[in-house]
Amino acid sequence: MTFQLPDLPYERDALAPHVSAETIEYHHGKHHAGYVRKLNEAVAGTRFADMSLEAIVHESDGKVFDNAAQHWNHSFYWNCLSPRGGGDPSGTLAEKIRDAFGDLGSFRKAFDEAASGVFGSGWAWLVRDQKGGLAIRQTANAENPLLRNETALLTCDMWEHAYYIDYRNAKKKYLAAFWQLVNWRFTADRLAG
């Protein structure tokens, strides 16, 4: 089995001005593509070659894990953004956010703090934990919620390559852009799934 770079669910310039076409060209076309290429090179001829991506994330370490998890994380991240995103969640998702965080503003604040507090490269996540409630997680480098058997619902890529072209070191501006693009429909589908 050979892993493939997934097509973006929108055009490269569709997220502008919040995330520029140049960022997407590098982030999807070079960084994500590089993880997929290195993953294929690393698993060739090994016991991982016929495993699903999720199984590899669970069972590997080192270079195989790093590239497998980054392939998974980025494939997930693209779906968390939408040119028709932003606004507020509704329905069951909104109720679960209120149950866990009090209100939407408090959730956004807590998520922003977790995201901007990632030291070095990493990710911020909204997850459904093993008890069924919602929680915010930070992960370092390529790590993700699969490792804790939690269901990822939403993520924000906090590697510098996600925002440095558009916002330099201004993580808060990138996070404000993220909320303009957030694809609540995808998150609601994950929660229902």
Binding mask 159-178 for Fe ion (x = CB under 5 A): x--x----------------
Phi-psi region of 128 (alpha: psi -120 to 50; beta: other; left: phi over 0): beta
What is the crossing angle of helices 104-116 and 171-181, to 10°? 140
Is residue 72 a contact residue for Fe ion (CB under 5 A)?
Answer: no
Binding mask 115-144 for Fe ion (x = CB under 5 A): ------------------------------
Cα distances (Å, whole numbers) of residue 159 to 26, 63, 71, 163, 191: 13, 18, 14, 8, 25
Is residue 66 a contact residue for Fe ion (CB under 5 A)?
Answer: no
Q: Is 2 exposed, middle or buried (0-12, 13-18, 19+ CB in 10 A)?
A: exposed
Give CA 69 to chain center in angstroms.
Answer: 11
- With CB under 5 A as the contact rule, the residue among 157, 158, 188, 190 that binds Fe ion is 157
Nearest distance in Å: CB 139, Fe ion: 13
CA pair distance 93, 139, nearest whole angstrom: 23
Nearest distance in Å: CB 132, Fe ion: 29
Nearest distance in Å: CB 123, Fe ion: 9
Nearest distance in Å: CB 106, Fe ion: 27
* Residue numbers at the binding site for Fe ion (CB under 5 A): 157, 159, 162
